[in-house]
Amino acid sequence: MSTAPSISILDDPLREPSPAEFVMRRAPLVQAGVSGAGTATKIKSSSDWQIGLWQLWPREEVWPAKLDIYESAAYLRVSPDTIRRAVTVARDGKAQLAHQRVGAIYRIRKVDLDSFGAVRGRADRV
């Protein structure tokens, strides 16, 4: 008896992911059993994580409307530290990048990222 191979979102990147696939891709650290204070930060800061998000959302219009620091960095193809510096409030009370802070988590609208500035590497396809 033969079984059909399962098709993942990586096989057909233009297909919208099911809710289960979406949760699976957004929480790979939990599935892998990764623990430790700095481990998640190191993995989410890697270029492999950013490439994985671009494989999940291959076109700019399918990215979520609100992103966290790491997703924003992947969307603009920059370092998460660049986004952190942009959301840090300066002495004049303004940040370079409009955002909302919910507890310790920053939420950034995709529209604000688009107006933040064009990044040359963002036009490159993975």
Q: How much is the pLDDT for 37? A: 58
CB 107 within 8 A of CB 68: yes
Q: How much is the pLDDT for 43? A: 82
Q: How much is the pLDDT for 69? A: 92
Instruction: Enter the tokens of residue 66.
Output: 């609100």
Tell whether pTM > 0.85.
no
Question: Could you tell me the CA-to-CA distances from 112 to 57, 71, 77 in Å, in that order?
Answer: 18, 13, 15
- Render pLDDT for 60-105 as a digit per residue (tens, 0 to 9): 888 888 999 999 999 998 899 999 999 988 888 888 898 988 888 8
Given a cut of 90, whether residue 108 has pLDDT beyond it is yes
Q: How much is the pLDDT for 25? A: 55
- Render pLDDT for 4-55 as a digit per residue (tens, 0 to 9): 545 444 455 555 656 556 555 555 544 445 555 567 778 888 888 888 888 8
Q: How much is the pLDDT for 40? A: 75
Q: How much is the pLDDT for 9? A: 45
> Residue 12, exposed/middle/buried by CB under 10 A (0-12, 13-18, 19+)?
exposed
Residues 84 and 40: their CA atoms lie apart, in Å, by 16
